[in-house]
């Protein structure tokens, strides 16, 4: 009997090992994020106050685009040598594959976010006026919002000919409420003007709703012809 937990853990460990050996997703995300930070900093050249107001938007837009790279990679690995078919002919639960992949993507994107945050602070001369620890909550909830839907929609677009284009077309519209929550919560913390509580609650509800929906629908996606 195959348990959800055991297969999720095995899939996560396997994906981390594959990424450790290839570094395809992490390198591409890092390179992309650095480019975005540098270009934005030259394009806007903001004052310290302006930086606090726009940084939330810039940071999350950069992470959203960068995450796309990882999300496409994660399923491409399963297409090479048709390895996904080996999973489909096994009795392992479909949701374990989804959870393993989503957790793997969460880990990869978080690594990039942690590497990029100091760079953002330096380039945009940021000084946080609100409770900085709440940024950790925004980071966790926001990143999960990106990767859970991204992992799902990357699987949906897997069998299309223009999958790299299809993923953002599907993911970005669905991510708008989450992106709004991430940006507003981050800006509220950076400026210290308002409480981010409402936006954090929005993110939490968004994560619960979409995680549930993805888990309910993934088996259909996995076995679609």
Partner 1 sequence: MPADPAPVLELDSVSKLFGRVAALRELTASFAPGRLYGIFGENGAGKSTLLRLIAGLARPTRGRILRWASDDLHPALARMGYMAHASLLYDELTALENLRYFAGLYGLAASPACEDAISSVGLDPALSRRVGDYSQGMRQRLSLARALLHGPDLLLLDEPFSNVDAGSAASMAARLGRLRASGKTIFVVTHQPAHLEAVADESLWIAAGEIAARQPGIGAALAASTGVTQ
Interface residues with partner 1 (CB under 8 A) are 1-3, 6-7, 10-11, 14, 17-18, 21-22, 77, 80-83, 85-92, 225
- Closest distance between partner 1 and the C-beta of residue 137, in Å? 33
Smaller CB distance to partner 1: residue 81 or 118?
81
- Closest distance between partner 1 and the C-beta of residue 147, in Å? 21
Smaller CB distance to partner 1: residue 108 or 123?
108
- Closest distance between partner 1 and the C-beta of residue 106, in Å? 20
In 3D space, the residue among 77, 183, 76 whose CA is nearest the CA of residue 139 turns out to be 183
Residue 47, number of CB atoms within 10 A of its CB: 10
- Closest distance between partner 1 and the C-beta of residue 28, in Å? 16
Smaller CB distance to partner 1: residue 53 or 88?
88
Cβ burial of 117 (10 Å; 0-12, 13-18, 19+) is: middle
Q: Which residue in the block uniquely carries the two structure tokens 């897997």?
A: 158
- Closest distance between partner 1 and the C-beta of residue 95, in Å? 13
d(CA 50, CA 99): 39
Q: Return the HEC string of 7-60.
A: HHHHHHHHHHHHHHHHCHHHHHHHHHHHHHHHHHHHHHCCCHHHHHHHHHHHHH
- Closest distance between partner 1 and the C-beta of residue 3, in Å? 7
Q: Return the HEC string of 94-122.
A: HHHHHHHHHHHHHHHHHHHHHHHHHHHHH
Smaller CB distance to partner 1: residue 119 or 215?
215
Smaller CB distance to partner 1: residue 27 or 201?
27
For residue 81, the 8-state DSSP code is: G
Q: Which residue in the block uniquely carries the two structure tokens 């890092």?
A: 30
In 3D space, the residue among 27, 133, 118 whose CA is nearest the CA of residue 73 turns out to be 27
């Amino acid at each position: 009997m195959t348990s959800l937990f055991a297969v999720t853990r095995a899939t996560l460990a396997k994906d981390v090992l594959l990424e450790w050996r290839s570094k395809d997703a992490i390198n591409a995300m890092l390179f992309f994020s650095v480019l975005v930070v540098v270009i934005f900093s030259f394009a806007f050249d903001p004052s310290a106050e302006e930086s606090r107001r726009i940084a939330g938007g810039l940071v999350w837009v950069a992470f959203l685009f960068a995450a796309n790279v990882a999300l496409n990679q994660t399923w491409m690995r399963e297409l090479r040598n048709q390895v996904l078919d080996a999973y489909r002919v096994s009795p392992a639960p479909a949701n374990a594959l989804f959870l393993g992949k989503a957790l793997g993507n969460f880990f990869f994107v978080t690594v990039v976010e942690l590497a990029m945050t100091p760079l953002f602070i330096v380039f945009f001369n940021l000084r946080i006026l609100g409770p900085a620890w709440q940024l950790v909550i925004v980071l966790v909830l926001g990143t999960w919002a990106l990767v859970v839907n991204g992992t799902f929609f990357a699987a949906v677009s897997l069998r299309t000919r223009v999958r790299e284009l299809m993923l953002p077309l599907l993911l970005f519209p669905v991510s708008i409420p989450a992106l709004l929550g991430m940006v507003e919560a981050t800006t509220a913390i950076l400026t210290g003007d308002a409480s981010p509580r409402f936006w954090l609650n929005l993110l939490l509800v968004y994560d619960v709703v979409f995680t549930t929906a993805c888990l309910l629908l993934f088996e259909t996606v996995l076995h679609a012809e």
